[in-house]
Amino acid sequence: MQKRFFAKHAKSSAALVSLGIHAVLIVVALSFVAVTVIKKEEQNFEAKPVSRPKMNLRKLQVPVNIKKKKVQKPKLRKRIVVQPKLNQSVPDIKMPEITGVKGGMGNAVGDGLGGAGALGFSMPEIEIFGVKGKGEKIVLILGADAEMMSDEMGGIPAYTIIKEEMIRIVDELPPTALFNVMIYDWKEVTMAFPDMVPATDANAQKMQKWLEPLNAVRKGMGDRDFGMHTLGPGGTVTSEKLVYGKFADPTKVGAKKGAEVDVRAWYRATMLAHKMGADTIFVLTDDWDLQRVATSKSMSREEWDKTTAGKKWKECHRKGLKLLDEENKKRRDAGKPPKALNRNEWAINGEYFPDIERPPTPEWYNFTPKDFAEAFVLNRADNAKDSIATTSGLRKKKKIDFSLNVIQFVPKGKNPSGTSANNFKKLTSLCNGEYQTIAGMDEVKSYVTADSE
């Protein structure tokens, strides 16, 4: 039965196997792809030589100078820049306790417009004779005494350039800034405005009309056509001293009670600027001058005038005045401005008779830069708008939050006196500022020319 079954299905099984083998062969055949590779023959190109006509170069008819032109290199000058000083040591200035609430007009006005930086305005940056400063409340202080216009420093023409530079600075201030300009001599201070004002076009023009006539060079100038009395209309004259610290109580330095403090006008001008709350101050001066108080007595002037030396002193003064008048007449005839020289005894005899015996003087205490810095801080605290008393009894250390910069004008080819230079360097260092010297007319012109380029 089984044999019959296999015999019966043998043919059909063979057919199935044959079909399977053919199917596999077909699939394998389809998996092959015929690829024809075409190999390109490499082609070589040969360049045929071409004969080209040669051109003969002609000589230039016009000679050409191929030498390099010598260019004079600009002379580098020292320029002092006020940089933000971070993490600097602040002088330890002890302050007395502040009692009561006092307000200053300058700060009241300043808070109205001077705080524009808090509203997104950038503080204006100015540069004057190589010294840069940045602030919202700016005061420019300029000396107007005869020493600022000495012949060795360029005379009245050099002073005119200095004055015009100040006018330019104010004219370029943004209206968001507050400013004031102060002019001083050895006895008084005159301000352009009673207080700090916005730097609008109207205020800048008003200041310019007031300042331009000061020591201006004019044809046929008289012997005394210079000084504070030549200022234009307007301005506010003040003789306020604003003494603080050792200046207010000179007994602390050995002077007798009631002794008169002899401080020159740049001190009074800077104190007025601090009272107004200025954060950037520029002082343009010729000397540290006499900042002192007597600590002893000397022979009275009346007694000394009766001596031989005193009589000679008087006689030399009279001779010196005649020499000055003769010199100014020659200048006037030549169309030149007069010699700027005070007509007092000290100036005349110092100019024409420098070796003569001088009147006796007492011993002095000369105020130090630290004395000035302390007086500045006390002044600002006393006139601050929101100076609220502290009841803890602790003395707070006051940081110097202003900048005092000094530009000192000296004779051509000379350096400032050691006292002047050292004191100004220390004072500006204490007050976050810079100190610069300008010698003679040439340096005055060089800085102004550089700023205008």
Q: What is the pLDDT of residues 404-415, one digit of tens each?
A: 999 999 998 888
**Structural domain contains residue 96:** no
Give the distance, in angstroms, between the CA of residue 443 and the centroid of all CA atoms in the same chain: 16
User: Cα separation of 147 and 344, whole Å?
Assistant: 13
**Structural domain contains residue 340:** yes
Say yes or no: 330 and 433 in one domain.
Answer: no
Say yes or no: 222 and 277 in one domain.
Answer: yes
Q: Which residues form the domain of 118?
A: 105-294+377-452
CATH number assigned to the domain comprising residue 196? 3.40.50.410
Name 284's bridge partners: 142, 407
pLDDT > 70? residue 218: yes
Say yes or no: 269 and 416 in one domain.
Answer: yes
pLDDT > 90? residue 52: no
pLDDT > 70? residue 277: yes
Say yes or no: 136 and 194 in one domain.
Answer: yes
**Structural domain contains residue 54:** no
Say yes or no: 285 and 144 in one domain.
Answer: yes
Across the chain, mean pLDDT equals 79
Name 237's bridge partners: 190
Interaxial angle between packed helices 345-352 and 308-333, expressed in degrees from 0 to 180 and rounded to the nearest 10: 80
Say yes or no: 173 and 255 in one domain.
Answer: yes
Give the distance, in angstroms, between the CA of residue 82 and the centroid of all CA atoms in the same chain: 7
**Structural domain contains residue 307:** yes
Q: What is the DSSP string of 278-344?
A: -SEEEEEES-----EEE-S----HHHHHTSHHHHHHHHHHHHHHHHHHHHHHHHHHTT-PPP----S
- The per-residue b/e assignment along 193-207, b for 16 or more CB within 10 angstroms, e otherwise, is bebbbbbeeebbebb
Say yes or no: 315 and 259 in one domain.
Answer: no
Say yes or no: 211 and 274 in one domain.
Answer: yes
Write down which residue in 334, 361, 388 finishes a domain.
361
Say yes or no: 242 and 160 in one domain.
Answer: yes
CB neighbourhood size of 26 (10 A): 10
Question: By mean pLDDT, which of 277-281, 376-380, 388-392 is the weakest?
Answer: 388-392
Write down which residue in 361, 396, 415 finishes a domain.
361
Q: What are the backbone dihedrals phi and psi of residue 132, each rounded to the nearest 5 degrees, phi first?
A: -105, 150
**Structural domain contains residue 71:** no
More confident residue, 316 or 34: 316
Say yes or no: 302 and 438 in one domain.
Answer: no
In this structure, what DSSP letter does residue 227 have?
S
pLDDT > 50? residue 390: no
Q: What is the pLDDT of residues 431-440, one digit of tens each?
A: 999 999 999 8
Give the H/E segment covering residue 236: strand 236-238
**Looking at residue 50, what is its pLDDT?**
60
Say yes or no: 175 and 320 in one domain.
Answer: no
**Structural domain contains residue 207:** yes
229 and 243 Cβ atoms separated by less than 8 Å: no
Percent of the chain with pLDDT over 90: 51
**Structural domain contains residue 311:** yes
CA geometry: angle 127, 133, 135, nearest 5 deg:
125
pLDDT > 70? residue 53: no
Indicate the number of domains in the chain: 2
Say yes or no: 286 and 340 in one domain.
Answer: no
**Structural domain contains residue 19:** no
In this structure, what DSSP letter does residue 218 have?
-
Question: Which structure tokens are listed for 37?
Answer: 């590779």
In the numeric block, the tokens 């000369």 are attached to 366
Write down which residue in 361, 385, 402 finishes a domain.
361
Q: What is the pTM of this model?
A: 0.71
In this structure, what DSSP letter does residue 219 have?
T
**Of 92, 27, 45, which is closest to residue 400 (Cα–Cα)?**
92
Question: Which structure tokens are listed for 17?
Answer: 């196997």
Q: What is the pLDDT of residues 168-206, one digit of tens each?
A: 999 999 999 999 999 998 888 999 999 999 999 999 999
Label residue 179 left, alpha or beta by phi (over 0 means left) and psi (-120 to 50 means alpha): beta
